[in-house]
Structure 1
Amino acid sequence: MIDTPVRPHRSADQSTARRPEEGDGGTATIDIMLVDDHAIVRQGLSSILQREPDLRVVAEAASAPEAMTEVERARPDIVLMDLKLSAASDSEGIDLCADLTAAHPGLGVLVLTTFLDDQLVLRAIRSGAKGYVVKDVDTSHLVRAIRDVSRGESAFDARSAAAMVRGLNAPAPDRSARLTARELEVLRLLAHGMSNRDIGKELFVSETTAKFHVGNILRKLSVSSRAEAVYEASKLGLLT
């Protein structure tokens, strides 16, 4: 991790009036935290971004808890984060995004991920992300997206923007039909307040497998917590 002095957050409207720091030619520096569970990805991104005179990587994190700690320490302007932060879930970053933006309203969160799902893009934006780009985007577009978010603007690549429009225009899905038989079993155990470990024991699967099923349930029901999942399931009549 990169040691850097603690500095107060700058709000989105302050970002355009920041004093020049280390950028060439008096350009204000944008401090970035990278959140990705793969060290090689973080190292590659850091190497690419720090070639830009106005970008500086000040912190890295491999998990949601680490990200919450590091953002307090490093006080970045932008968090560039993946949505998949563990093998158990494809969208753990959604919850992290919501937690980061709730705790730090002036923080700009930009999603950089391999996943391009219409509803996932919408969930990320509704959780506070200011932009969404896929990992195969070219470097110049990524750098431009970071600068846009730093100015308080939104940033999307062409495919993410199209996915968001499709998601907004799509009819409400039948969420109950998307759950597998096993996920329905897990959901009913969630309603009894069982932990992942207890669910695993009840269904004779590992705790990791139980956690994986819980993550899928949250994603399919478009919720961010176990309590919300149980509430939504009750409304959909899935607990009878």
Structure 2
Amino acid sequence: MKTLRVLLADDHRIVREGVKQILLDCADLQVIGEAHDCDELMTVLRTTTPNVLVTDLSMPGKSGIELIKFIKHKHPELPVLVFSMFKEDQFALRCIRAGASGYLCKDAAPDLLVTAVRRIAMGRLSMSPEVAESLLRDPGVQTTHDIACLSEREFQVVTRLAHGQTVTEIAQELFLSVKTVSTHKARLMQKMGFANAADLVRYALNNHLVEESLP
């Protein structure tokens, strides 16, 4: 039986410990390293050769789609399984398009995590049938109320708006001009079909955007 080497990246130690225990209960899975942010992840990758990377979507430093693209640029052959609190129907498609091989919500059953790790190690994709159908049916079309249609910067802006930040506060945090953030806001409102800020907040509440850490 071939042993699969797994690298874990999550900024919460208790999450890493939980995932590690699930994987170590399987004879064919070995955890060879851990990282709590993107910088540490890159350092570990310079000295290890994992078969699979299991990573959170939101960590200090690079995060979200930017993190996935960065990892795949540096290590294009490394299969990436995103293990996130974000609901799959809202974020999985964006992650797959960015280069991830699989996506799993953190409230999934432990056996699904093991199956996903083994599956992407074999060069397959691991996602729900609904996400797979969306990817195959229409991989590039922007649809109303589909957050997958947003650019990475628009996604960063919409999550911060959902958390109640003003355009000025977002501009300061993302090191952008107020005009640029306002432009991103106008575009995402149009793409998502929002008529006003109340629509945005209602959507954020219904889809759990305000329960997660900011990307």
Please indicate, yes or no, whether the TM-score normalized by the shorter chain is above 0.5: yes
Q: Is 2:145 aligned against 1:145?
A: no
AA aligned opposite 1:124? C
Task: Give distance in 2, aligned partners of 1:183 and 1:163.
Answer: 32
- State how far apart, in whole Å, the 2-side matches of 1:124 and 1:145 are: 15
1:204-234 Cα deviation digits (max 9, x unpaired): xxxxxxxxx9xx97xx69xxxxxxxxxxxxx
CA distance in 2, matches of 1:197, 1:110: 27
Q: 2:38 aligns with which of 60, 64, 68?
A: 64
Return the alpha-carbon distance in structure 1 between the equivalents of residues 68 and 29 of structure 2. Answer: 21
CA distance in 2, matches of 1:126, 1:197: 23
Structure 1 residue 184: Cα displacement: 4.5
Which of the residues 118, 126, 130 maps onto 1:162? 130
Residue equivalent to 2:55: 81
Offset at residue 67 of structure 1 (A):
1.1
Q: Secondary structure at the match of 1:34?
A: strand
Distance 1:198 1:107 in 2: 31
Instruction: Give the 5 Å matches for 1:49-60.
Output: 49-60=23-34
For the residues of structure 1 that align with 2:175 and 2:20, how far apart are their CA atoms? Answer: 41
- 1:163-199: CA deviations, max 9, x gaps? 45457657534868x8559655467x5xxxxx74877
Listed as ranges, the gaps of 5+ residues in structure 1 are: 1-26, 190-194, 204-212, 222-240
Q: What residue number does 1:28 align with?
A: 2
Q: Structure 2: 5+ residue runs without aligned partners?
A: 190-215
The answer to whether the 8 Å contact 1:118/1:163 transfers is yes
SS in structure 2 opposite 1:83? coil
Structure-2 separation of matches of 1:134 and 1:197: 27
How many residue pairs get aligned? The number is 168
* Partner SS state of residue 34, structure 2: strand
Contact 1:80 1:109 in 2 (8 A): yes
Q: Percent of aligned pairs with the same residue?
A: 29
Give the corresponding residue for 2:102.
131
Deviations 1:56-95 (A, max 9, x none): 0011111111111111221211000111214x9xx92321
| Alpha-carbon distance between aligned partners in 2 of 1:155 and 1:45, rounded to the nearest angstrom | 17
**Which whole-Å CA distance do the structure 1 matches of 2:85 and 2:79 have between them?**
20
- Which residue is equivalent to 1:106? 77
> How big is the shift at 1:50?
0.9
Determine the structure 2 residue equivalent to 1:13. Answer: none
